[in-house]
Amino acid sequence: MKHIVFLGLVLLAPVATLFAQAEISSIDSLVAVYTKNQQFSGSILVARHGKVLLKKGYGLRDAIVAAPNTPGTIFNIASLTKSFTATLILQLQQQGKLAVSDKLSKYYPSFPNGDSITIHQLLTHTSGIFNYTNDQHFMSVDQSKPVSLDSMIALFKDRPVNFRPGTKFSYCNSGYILLGYIIEKTTGKSYGQALEEMIFEPLGMVHSSYGPPVEKAGNLAVGYQGYTKNKFQAAGPVHPSVSFATGAIYSTVEDLYIFHRALQDHILLTAGSILQAYKKDIGNYGYGWFTDSLYGRQRISHSGSIAGFKAHINRMPSDDACIIVLSNQGNSKVSDIARLAMALLYKQPLPVISAAPPIIQLPQNVLRQYVGSYEIAAQQIIDISLSGSQLIFQIRGDVAYEIQPVKPQLFFFKVFKPEQVRLEFVIENGQVDLLYFYRNGQKIPAKKVR
């Protein structure tokens, strides 16, 4: 009987391999379609059970010289940097140099409300601190020049908190700027040095760096804001001192897979630290990772977006499955690709990738109830006005945009993609007193003040 069972396993092995090859071929074909449609340029890596199933480059690393992307192409990974920042914090906690329960005031005594904000809240985006990337003026100025850390912190230090710390979730880049500050204060080294000595060097992540690489610049992707056939619009660079501990790391799909394996094997973090990192708080966010479930398993993920670059990583720790998608195209569909690739990997029905629903017509009396001024934060107002039958959105002092209804309370922007920017009005007791401004995955509340 044992021989029969063994023979059956031997016969089944090529079939299983054939199915695995079919899944990978499907993923490869999927990405190729996105590339052909000018919706992706970059690199992808797919792995499961400790085996890399696909790693490949698509599109161009540099359109001017027609250099192709490869698995070794280096990209700015944007907010995937947060996963590394959180790992450094947990390493320092393991060394007894800090605790996530510590108050911010212990490291930054003059920070307003610092006695009420913990490292845990900075990690989980529950601190209530103003998010500096919501400052429209800052986002509109040249970000290619170096700035001091004090200057970066000054962008949000004296802004009123959005809510009492620990009571709500609101994605906040400012919190990770402060975590970088705490890392430097605790280690006595720069954030870049800490990354190199505590993560990159021990793991052999030789193609990863804080800021764009110098020695391996020949593998560096050029970031393109727009990318259409025979037309490439280069993105303006963002200096690493501006994105700092929230988005300044450059890496490859191969190096990010090394990082994934190190987390799986508890090389950098203990099992206890991993549990802390993957445990969600008020929002679906732990320490540097979004955490939810998919196909009955815990999924750990993060996305990133910065001028000219987009990134996404999907991980299923229980199956040691990992999909990494990096792009040098600002309008790439990296999240869609990662989601569809995961469905193919798990032999699941492909999820519907939402297209923009049709525009609907709303009567004037419905449109008029949305007109007014909404406060995002102190001194920052959204004005909603009505021009004929067209609602107009404007952050005071900035450009005005037309918004179009797809549901009675949900509006898309005429010039932006729905997954980038949209607006939802909230009606309670027959009155509009709040709106939510969704921008690049962030949900920003604004209270009606007039």
- The predicted pLDDT at position 355 comes to 61
- The predicted pLDDT at position 321 comes to 97
Two structure tokens written together for 448: 């009606």
Token look-up 């604004």 returns 446
- The predicted pLDDT at position 240 comes to 96
Residue 395: is its pLDDT beyond 50? yes
Q: Kindly indicate the confidence band of residue 427, based on its pLDDT and cuts at 50, 70 and 90.
A: confident
Contacts of residue 318, defined as CB under 8 A and 6 or more positions apart, other chains included, come to 297, 298
What DSSP letter does each residue of 342-391 carry, written as one string? HHHHTTPPPPP-PPPPPP----HHHHHTT-EEEEEETTEEEEEEEETTEE
Residue 16: is its pLDDT beyond 80? no
Q: Which residue has the higher pLDDT, 262 or 236?
A: 262
- The predicted pLDDT at position 377 comes to 67
Digit-coded pLDDT (tens) for 94-106: 999 999 999 999 9
- Average pLDDT, stretch 20-40? 84
Q: Kindly indicate the confidence band of residue 333, based on its pLDDT and cuts at 50, 70 and 90.
A: confident
Digit-coded pLDDT (tens) for 172-227: 999 999 999 999 999 999 999 999 999 999 999 999 999 999 877 789 999 997 66
Digit-coded pLDDT (tens) for 279-289: 999 989 999 99
Tally of CB atoms within 10 A around 179: 26
Digit-coded pLDDT (tens) for 67-77: 999 999 999 99
pLDDT over 70, % of the chain: 90
Token look-up 């996105």 returns 34
Q: Which residue has the higher pLDDT, 243 or 427?
A: 243
d(CA 402, CA 241): 34
pTM assigned to the model: 0.77
- The predicted pLDDT at position 225 comes to 79
Two structure tokens written together for 438: 């969704």
The mean predicted confidence, pLDDT, of the chain is 88
Digit-coded pLDDT (tens) for 266-325: 999 999 999 999 999 998 999 999 999 999 999 999 999 998 999 999 999 999 999 999
